[in-house]
Structure 1
Amino acid sequence: MNTPEAPAKHPGEQARGEGVYTVVAGDTLGGIARKAYHDAGRWRDIVAANPHLDPRRLRPGETINLPQPGKVAIPR
């Protein structure tokens, strides 16, 4: 049985490296990564989890998947 996700209080507020994030005007992948992982450089992990995503054209209202912090690939 699937349960619906709890809606974010405000668009773009559900970060902290879990689930789905709704893009708001002015967002960048670096900014989203900073909110979710405290590391703007992890924007590449967000792109890897969203192959359809064009990092140069984020659209307000677009939802993107955020990989769990433990599942984020850390380059070596």
Structure 2
Amino acid sequence: MSWKWEYAFGAEQAARTAPAGFLSEVERTADELVRAAEAFHVHGRAHDGIDPKGGDVVVPGGMFTYQVVVRSERVYIVQITYLGF
């Protein structure tokens, strides 16, 4: 299994109504988070500690909240907020 990102909870439904330009920024940034998590947690499936704290990321047009789950080798986008700026 390799690292990936995906929408979780209500973020997937919110993504259906968000503008394409905003979503492309969210997805581009999520790809960067995946690369960083993969580099930092080289042996993700063998991880036996607690998962790192997630965070909020500001992107053009709004923001999103993410959580890293190391043993699943996933970065979950748990909330997106389109503000239109």
Higher strand share: 2
- TM-score category, normalised to shorter length: under 0.3
TM-score, normalised to structure 1, is 0.26
Indicate the structure (1 or 2) with the bigger Cα radius of gyration. Answer: 2
